[in-house]
Amino acid sequence: MSEEKKTPGLEENFQKLEGIIEHLEDENLSLEDAFAAYSQGMALLKECNAQIDRVEKQVLKLTESGQLEEFQHDSGTL
């Protein structure tokens, strides 16, 4: 059997980001380590944004008449 590498889920990526933030808050962190952690965090944040975009495209809403239609996100409001 071949093992397929599983892509981390959004929650797992958020947990990794939290760990990176905690690491960056270390007062004794060298500049080189801080830059490496920052770069890793930015790449992870980009992946999280892509994951959120994929989920948003799959979201459907139920109208008052009981019909399903695609969710239209108004980027001006949250």
Q: What is this structure's pTM?
A: 0.65
**What distances in angstroms separate CA 65 from CA 9, 61, 68, one per listed residue?**
34, 11, 9
pLDDT tens for 3-39 read: 556 788 999 999 999 999 999 999 999 999 999 999 9
Contact 24, 37 (CB under 8 A): yes
Indicate the domain borders of the chain. 10-70
Q: Express as a percent the part of the chain with pLDDT over 70.
A: 77
CB 60 within 8 A of CB 70: yes
Residue 37 pLDDT = 97
Model confidence pLDDT, tens digit, residues 27-75:
999 999 999 999 999 999 999 999 998 887 777 766 667 777 776 666 5
Question: How many CB atoms neighbour CB 20 within 10 A?
Answer: 19
Residues 55 and 49: their CA atoms lie apart, in Å, by 10
Alpha-carbon distance 45 to 55, whole Å?
Answer: 15
